[in-house]
């Protein structure tokens, strides 16, 4: 068959095109020989690239260079934060077993937390969220009042990857600090879209990754406050203060740091443009389908500027995804795939959306290369896509109605004869 | 050229079937059905259609063929139909065939309906069966060229309307080896993947354990046909008519001959056992009949008036059973639509209620129904009503 020509890429939250500067730095540095841990001249040259990248990344995010721990990406940084903090805190005080995470965290936070509960003696506390996906501060306060001395850590994301909700991190941090509980935030989706300043945030640890901001895949970092104790997850050569072993890839890290710097420095002009484009997209979709529901905060100031998440009643996300893909429009159902199996999103379910409505979810996410043409391509394709998807219905659902051709066709046929 | 949805299980058959659909000039899109509800089963699933490995293999096959690939979550439908039916049938003392129910409720129902609604013209699968198009454009379902791989038995349930929207590109393959060879030539990495035989949702292949987990232990008595207690069981649902192994009877039979399950009585929670000759039946009753030929209706009405039967036909009562000659009896009442009874020309042993009864004329499927009960009538079953039968049983070359 002829492959559908991509006319509109609306899935920048999954990954976004590399910035030209980042691609240039990557290709330039790739040819360099030298292990940053080697002591000879080539090693020193590579080390210099790594440390300059560290300074660049730190400066872009309001951190000190020594607070940057390079990782292979967001997932590893989240795992290091959850596991490393839990083990370090528990070593200090064996009664600190409770891991507090919001119910709408990315799987890279949720799954290590669940794993620690199953395998490492942790007690998992899932903090509820309201219908906009905002973490319930009263529930957090109640949990801390009752059990703060048993809390190992708290992890609440900066911005939700599915519905774009910005979390009230200042309040979260203030509460936790009152009880001496360290706070980690996954800021993978936030960097480059909203101001992110590690020092000003009061956070103890923060996750950032390259490929969401126009950098390369396979590069990320955990910012860890000075003096924060982290038990290593990867053991080996002792790189990164002994917390994260593994040979550093100078080219990858240099490119990553340049991308973060560029995303942060251009944010002030890019974000309003993307927000306007997003509003155009949402208004256009609602004009076509007034029953579509925008999920996440109604107030644009409390959601990511480049995120639009909608549910379409009576449609199944995978039908919508297929039909849009055939029409050259690339989006996402928004939920993390489990082995490529689309399940109703845990984020939407935590927000109180019922399972059938959750199945009709689509996330449109914009990026630096997005234009009005992309939005127009979506709006052109959408009416026919919705019509078809509604006809296909919620096939896997309990609400599904039996189709016109009943399974026992011959039975009905015979009845006409009889 | 049609728009074809190729169901990709992750196995070699569906991959080669999709490749042949692409070669035939169709616009093909690959879809893997996610049928398992739990992550655990996804990870540890046996050979079948539920494991992560299978989903990955399906994706890779689509990559090699250069077709789009999606995963559709049909797990809820699968649980509510196939798995629920599986449990309910065993609980009722019958022996279900979940592959038949999956074809009836999921593959050629939910999946096909969704495909049609989304603009596809047909669904393509790796089943071994042939579709023969008649001059008037209607279609006949036939056994596959390779009798050893033939799957017309589990497909017959779909009925003629759904057959019209189905492609089985492997119907003419001479053997599974040919499929594997073709897969290797096409660069499909699943070419050497082992065949699946187990029930896909019973991850470890332990059907009895699965039933015990889902239905709970229900200890009861094993009796012989005179009602004498000869042993105990942990749940009558775990036994199948004709089963010999796993009976664990305390006392040997008086005559020392092996004993088999004759009946499962779910209400009394009893399993009745006896010698092999008591398993012999020559009349099979079935319901939920599906017929493939409009002319069947005319025959049935004629036959009801004339009192004749339809035959000789051949019938098959289990997935890998040999076909036997039989006569379809005329309906008990005029206009009876759902039930069917067949007289076997040679008796069979161990026909289990719940299995499919598929009626063939030569290689062609005439219809199918679900076995409800069996009898031993004795004597010779007569083939009658040749004239109207001929009109229906027009064997296609």
pLDDT band at A20 (very low <50, low <70, confident <90, very high): very high
Question: What mean pLDDT is predicted for residues A90-112?
Answer: 97
Contact B5, B78 (CB under 8 A): no
Question: What mean pLDDT is predicted for residues B225-250?
Answer: 85
Q: Nearest CA to CA, how far is B338 from chain A (Å)?
A: 6
Which member of A322, A337, A411 has the closest CB to residue B338? Answer: A411
Report chain B's mean pLDDT, rounded to a whole number: 86
Smallest CA-to-CA distance from A246 within A235, A233, A256, A232 is with A235
Smallest CA-to-CA distance from B358 within B396, B320, B331, B384 is with B320
Cα–Cα distance between A179 and A176 in angstroms, integer? 5
**For position A183, what pLDDT does the model report?**
98
Degrees to nearest 5, angle at CA B174 with B173 and B175: 95
B365: helix, strand or coil: strand
pLDDT, tens digit, 9 for 90 and up, residues B83-141: 999 999 999 989 999 999 999 999 999 999 999 999 999 999 999 999 999 898 889 99
Which CATH superfamily does the domain covering B3-192 fall into?
Answer: HUPs (3.40.50.620)
Q: Quick check: A63 pLDDT over 70?
A: yes
**For position A393, what pLDDT does the model report?**
85
Residue of B nearest to A410 (CA): B290
Q: Are residues A233 and A283 in the same domain?
A: no
**For position B295, what pLDDT does the model report?**
67
Q: Are residues A71 and A148 in the same domain?
A: yes
Contact B74, B32 (CB under 8 A): no
Cα–Cα distance between B243 and B260 in angstroms, integer? 5
Cα–Cα distance between B110 and A401 in angstroms, integer? 10
Number of A to B CB contacts under 8 A, please give it.
126
Write phi, then psi, for A208 (nearest 5 degrees). Answer: -140, 150
A39 located within any domain: yes
Question: Which residues constitute the domain of residue A93?
Answer: 20-265
Q: Report the CATH number at residue A247.
A: 3.40.640.10
pLDDT band at A414 (very low <50, low <70, confident <90, very high): very low
Smallest CA-to-CA distance from B1 within B114, B98, B121 is with B121
Residue B123: CA count within 13 A, CB half-sphere: 25
Q: Are residues A73 and A185 in the same domain?
A: yes
pLDDT, tens digit, 9 for 90 and up, residues B280-329: 999 999 999 999 876 666 666 676 666 678 878 999 999 888 999 999 98
Smallest CA-to-CA distance from B394 within B362, B367, B357, B358 is with B362
Question: What mean pLDDT is predicted for residues B68-73?
Answer: 91
The one catalytic residue in A4, A200, A337, A384 is A337
B122: helix, strand or coil: strand
> Which residues of chain A have a CB within 8 Å of the CB of B109?
403, 407
Cα–Cα distance between B130 and B155 in angstroms, integer? 11
Q: Are residues A217 and A365 in the same domain?
A: no
Q: Are residues A190 and A88 in the same domain?
A: yes
Q: Are residues A226 and A284 in the same domain?
A: no
Question: Sign of the CA dihedral B374, B375, B379, B381?
Answer: negative
Please name the residue ranges forming H helices in A19-136. Answer: 20-30, 41-60, 74-79, 85-92, 107-119
> Which residues of chain A have a CB within 8 Å of the CB of B367?
410
Q: Does B63 touch chain A (CB under 8 A)?
A: no
The A307-311 sheet, strands edge to edge: A293-294, A307-311, A361-365
Write phi, then psi, for A135 (nearest 5 degrees). Answer: -65, 140
A412 located within any domain: no
Cα–Cα distance between B382 and B343 in angstroms, integer? 8
The pair of three-digit structure tokens given for residue B79, joined into one six-digit string: 């649980």
**For position A189, what pLDDT does the model report?**
97
Cβ-defined contact of A392 to B105 (cutoff 8 Å): no
pLDDT band at A404 (very low <50, low <70, confident <90, very high): very low
Topology adopted by domain B216-278: SH3 type barrels. (2.30.30)
Give the number of domains in chain A.
Answer: 2
Q: Quick check: A42 pLDDT over 70?
A: yes
Tell me the residues of chain B between 336 and 355 that have a Cβ less than 8 Å away from chain A.
336-338
Report chain A's mean pLDDT, rounded to a whole number: 91
Q: Quick check: B5 pLDDT over 50?
A: yes
Looking only at the bridges linking them, the beta strands covering B340-349 and B280-291 are antiparallel
Question: What mean pLDDT is predicted for residues A391-401?
Answer: 60
The pair of three-digit structure tokens given for residue B203, joined into one six-digit string: 């991850």
Domain boundary pick from A233, A265, A297: A265
| Domain boundaries, given as residue ranges, for chain B | 3-192, 216-278, 280-392
Class of domain B280-392: mainly beta
Sequence-distant (≥ 6) Cβ neighbours of residue A111 within 8 angstroms: none
A403 located within any domain: no
A328: helix, strand or coil: coil
Domain boundary pick from A239, A265, A291: A265
Cβ-defined contact of B27 to A1 (cutoff 8 Å): yes
Q: Quick check: A341 pLDDT over 90?
A: no
Q: Are residues A60 and A199 in the same domain?
A: yes
Q: Are residues A26 and A63 in the same domain?
A: yes
**For position B335, what pLDDT does the model report?**
67
Please name the residue ranges forming H helices in B216-353. Answer: 295-306
The pair of three-digit structure tokens given for residue B111, joined into one six-digit string: 């999946």
Q: Nearest CA to CA, how far is A361 from chain B (Å)?
A: 14
pLDDT, tens digit, 9 for 90 and up, residues A44-60: 999 999 999 999 999 99
A98 located within any domain: yes
pLDDT, tens digit, 9 for 90 and up, residues B185-214: 999 988 888 777 678 888 777 888 889 999
Q: Does B3-192 match B280-392 in CATH topology? A: no
- Per cent of chain A over pLDDT 90 is 88
Question: What mean pLDDT is predicted for residues A222-236?
Answer: 96
The pair of three-digit structure tokens given for residue B309, joined into one six-digit string: 């039967």
Report in angstroms the alpha-carbon separations of B182 from A334, B150, B175, B185: 38, 18, 11, 5
The pair of three-digit structure tokens given for residue A207, joined into one six-digit string: 């996750």
Q: Are residues A311 and A329 in the same domain?
A: yes
pLDDT band at B248 (very low <50, low <70, confident <90, very high): confident
> Which residues of chain B have a CB within 8 Å of the CB of A3?
66
Q: Does B66 touch chain A (CB under 8 A)?
A: yes
Which member of B66, B162, B297 has the closest CB to residue A417? Answer: B297
A411 located within any domain: no
pLDDT, tens digit, 9 for 90 and up, residues B138-151: 899 999 999 999 99
Cα–Cα distance between A202 and A180 in angstroms, integer? 12
pLDDT band at B350 (very low <50, low <70, confident <90, very high): confident
Q: Quick check: B23 pLDDT over 90?
A: yes
Report in angstroms the alpha-carbon separations of B208 from B238, B240, B351: 6, 11, 20
Q: What H or E segment, with its residue span, contains residue A365?
A: strand A361-365
Question: What mean pLDDT is predicted for residues B8-25?
Answer: 96
Strand partners, B313: B326
Q: Quick check: A2 pLDDT over 50?
A: no
Q: Quick check: B52 pLDDT over 90?
A: no
pLDDT, tens digit, 9 for 90 and up, residues A157-190: 999 999 999 999 999 999 999 999 999 999 999 9
A386 located within any domain: yes
Write phi, then psi, for A270 (nearest 5 degrees). Answer: -75, -40
**For position B258, what pLDDT does the model report?**
87
Contact A341, B55 (CB under 8 A): yes
Residue of B nearest to A343 (CA): B73
Write phi, then psi, for B274 (nearest 5 degrees). Answer: -175, 180
Q: Quick check: B34 pLDDT over 70?
A: yes
Q: Are residues A197 and A306 in the same domain?
A: no
Tell me the residues of chain B between 75 and 134 that have a Cβ less than 8 Å away from chain A.
75-77, 80, 104-105, 108-111, 113-114, 117-119
- What Rg do the C-alpha atoms of chain A give, in angstroms? 23
Report in angstroms the alpha-carbon separations of B194 from A79, B47, B180, B191: 36, 8, 10, 9
Question: What mean pLDDT is predicted for residues A287-313?
Answer: 96
Q: Are residues A174 and A258 in the same domain?
A: yes
Q: Does B34 touch chain A (CB under 8 A)?
A: yes
Mutation site, B101, B117, B160, interface A, largest A CB count within 10 A: B117
Is residue A337 annotated as a catalytic residue, yes or no?
yes
CA torsion A212-A347-A276-A5 (nearest 10°) is 60
Domain boundary pick from A238, A265, A292: A265
A208 located within any domain: yes
B397: helix, strand or coil: coil
Report in angstroms the alpha-carbon separations of A321 from A23, A107, B64: 30, 21, 22
Sequence-distant (≥ 6) Cβ neighbours of residue A267 within 8 angstroms: A192, A193, A194, A195
pTM of the model: 0.86
**For position A96, what pLDDT does the model report?**
97
A2 located within any domain: no
**For position A105, what pLDDT does the model report?**
97
Q: Quick check: B47 pLDDT over 60?
A: no
Q: State the complex-level ipTM.
A: 0.82
The pair of three-digit structure tokens given for residue A315, joined into one six-digit string: 């449609």
Cβ-defined contact of A388 to B75 (cutoff 8 Å): no
Q: Report the CATH number at residue A296.
A: 3.90.1150.10
Q: Are residues A224 and A77 in the same domain?
A: yes
């Amino acid at each position: 068959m002829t492959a559908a020509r991509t006319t509109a890429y609306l899935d920048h939250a999954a990954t976004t095109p590399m910035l030209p500067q980042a691609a240039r730095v990557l290709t330039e540095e790739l040819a360099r020989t030298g292990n940053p841990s080697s002591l000879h001249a080539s090693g020193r040259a590579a080390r210099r690239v790594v440390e300059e990248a560290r300074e660049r990344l730190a400066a872009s995010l309001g951190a000190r260079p020594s607070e940057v721990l390079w990782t292979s990406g967001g997932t590893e940084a989240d795992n290091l934060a959850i596991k490393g903090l839990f083990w370090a805190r528990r070593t200090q005080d064996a009664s600190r077993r409770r891991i507090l995470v919001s119910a709408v965290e990315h799987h890279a936070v949720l799954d290590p937390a669940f794993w620690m509960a199953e395998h490492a003696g942790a007690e998992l506390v899932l903090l509820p969220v309201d219908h906009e996906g905002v973490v319930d501060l009263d529930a957090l306060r109640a949990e801390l009042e009752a059990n703060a001395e048993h809390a190992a850590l708290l992890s609440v994301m900066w911005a939700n990857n599915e519905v774009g909700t910005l979390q009230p991190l200042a309040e979260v941090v203030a509460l936790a600090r009152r009880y001496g509980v360290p706070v980690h935030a996954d800021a993978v989706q936030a960097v480059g879209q909203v101001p992110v300043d590690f020092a000003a945030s009061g956070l103890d640890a923060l996750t950032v990754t390259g490929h969401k901001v126009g950098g390369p895949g396979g590069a990320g970092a955990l910012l860890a406050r000075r003096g924060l104790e982290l038990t290593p997850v990867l053991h080996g050569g002792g790189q990164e203060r002994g917390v994260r072993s593994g040979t550093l890839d100078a080219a990858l890290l240099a490119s990553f740091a340049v991308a973060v710097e560029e995303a942060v420095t251009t944010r002030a002009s890019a974000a309003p443009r993307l927000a306007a484009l997003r509003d155009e997209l949402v208004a256009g979709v609602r004009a076509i389908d007034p029953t579509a529901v925008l999920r996440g905060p109604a107030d644009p100031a409390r959601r990511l500027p480049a995120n639009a998440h909608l549910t379409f009643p009576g449609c199944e996300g995978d039908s919508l995804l297929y039909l849009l893909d055939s029409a050259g429009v690339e989006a996402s159902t928004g939920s993390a795939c489990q082995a490529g199996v689309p399940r109703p999103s845990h984020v939407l379910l935590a927000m109180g959306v019922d399972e059938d409505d959750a199945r009709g979810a689509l996330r449109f996410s914009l990026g630096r290369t997005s234009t009005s043409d992309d939005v127009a391509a979506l709006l052109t394709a959408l009416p026919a896509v919705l019509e078809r998807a509604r006809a296909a219905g919620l096939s896997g659902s309990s609400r599904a109605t039996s189709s016109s051709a009943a399974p026992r066709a011959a039975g009905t046929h015979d009845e006409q004869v009889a | 050229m049609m728009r074809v949805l190729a169901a990709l299980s992750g196995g070699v058959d569906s991959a080669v079937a999709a490749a042949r659909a692409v070669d035939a000039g169709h616009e093909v899109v690959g879809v893997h059905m996610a049928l398992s509800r739990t992550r655990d089963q996804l990870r540890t699933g046996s050979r079948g259609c539920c494991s992560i490995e299978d989903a990955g293999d399906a994706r890779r096959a689509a990559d090699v063929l250069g077709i789009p690939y999606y995963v559709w979550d049909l797990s809820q439908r699968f649980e509510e139909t196939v798995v629920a039916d599986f449990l309910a049938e065993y609980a009722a003392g019958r022996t279900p065939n979940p592959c038949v129910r999956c074809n009836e409720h999921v593959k050629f129902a939910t999946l096909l309906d969704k495909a049609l609604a989304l603009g596809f013209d047909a669904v393509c699968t790796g089943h071994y069966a042939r579709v023969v198009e008649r001059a008037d454009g209607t279609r006949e379902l036939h056994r596959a060229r390779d009798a050893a791989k033939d799957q017309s038995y589990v497909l017959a349930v779909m009925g003629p309307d759904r057959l019209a929207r189905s492609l089985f590109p492997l119907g003419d393959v001479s053997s599974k080896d040919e499929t594997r060879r073709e897969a290797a030539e096409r660069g499909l990495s699943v070419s050497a993947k082992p065949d699946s035989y187990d029930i896909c949702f019973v991850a470890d292949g332990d059907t009895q354990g699965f039933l015990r987990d889902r239905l709970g232990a229900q200890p009861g008595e094993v009796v012989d046909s005179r009602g004498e207690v000869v042993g105990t069981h942990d749940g009558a649902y775990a036994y199948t008519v004709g089963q010999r192994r796993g009976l664990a009877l305390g006392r040997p039979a008086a005559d020392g001959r092996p004993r088999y399950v004759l009946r499962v009585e779910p209400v009394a929670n009893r399993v009745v056992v006896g010698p092999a000759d008591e398993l012999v039946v020559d009349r099979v009753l079935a319901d939920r009949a599906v017929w493939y030929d409009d002319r069947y209706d005319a025959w049935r009405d004629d036959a009801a008036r004339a009192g004749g039967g339809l035959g000789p036909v051949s019938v098959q009562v289990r997935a890998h059973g040999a076909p036997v000659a039989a006569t379809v009896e005329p309906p008990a009442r005029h206009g009876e639509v759902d039930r069917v009874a067949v007289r076997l020309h040679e008796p069979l042993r161990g026909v289990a209620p719940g299995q499919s009864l598929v009626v063939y004329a030569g290689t062609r499927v005439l219809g199918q129904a679900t076995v409800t009960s069996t009898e031993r009538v004795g004597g010779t079953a007569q083939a009658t009503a040749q004239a109207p039968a001929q009109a229906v049983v027009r064997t296609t070359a």
